[in-house]
Structure formats: C-alpha cells, structure tokens
Amino acid sequence: MIEQSVIERLILLLGDGHPSKAAVALGKYPSQVTRWRRQGYIPAMFALVVEQKTGGVITAREILLEAARLGRKPKKDKDEDESE
C-alpha cells in the first residue's frame, strides 16, 4: 500500500478531494493549496495552522518531517561564499 502525502490527506479531509474547499477551510487562497499539492508537501510555516484546523488528525510533527524531507534546501548567502 502506498502512503499518501500529508497534503493529499489534508485535501481529502478538509476538502473532500477538492483543493479549493480545503483552502477555504484553512482560510487560505485556493492557489496556495494547489501550489502545496504541486510541490508535494505543506511548508513548515503552516504546520500549526493545519494541525489546529484538522483537530490534530494531521499533526504539525508529520508536516515538519515531510517538509524537511521534501522541501527546498536553503540557499547560501553570497556573503558566506565569499568568506570561505
């Protein structure tokens, strides 16, 4: 059995499979939830909001773990490169 991503679970839970309905439930723009779906994870900064809105069904911990695993790596500042 393939495990669903957290964003897919969120869309099913709050939006009955529709990203726009999930966005309304979260108080976000539909384009934001669609972007999360396209990138495959929920950004860490939204972890607590999602946990609260889902009543803990989706936890901040699982969002943070998935975001850390799939998220973009921070870019180095140009100043850091120059000092090396």
Q: Is residue 37 part of a domain?
A: yes
Provide the domain count of the chain. 1
Full domain range(s) for residue 28: 6-71
Residues 42/51, Cβ–Cβ less than 8 Å = no
pLDDT tens by residue, 56-82: 999 999 999 999 998 866 556 555 555
Q: Is residue 46 part of a domain?
A: yes
pTM of the model: 0.79
Q: Is residue 79 part of a domain?
A: no
pLDDT tens by residue, 7-57: 999 999 999 999 999 999 999 999 999 999 999 999 999 999 999 999 999
Q: Is residue 33 part of a domain?
A: yes
Domain containing residue 59: CATH number: 1.10.260.40
Q: Is residue 77 part of a domain?
A: no
Q: Is residue 78 part of a domain?
A: no
> What does the pLDDT read at residue 3?
81
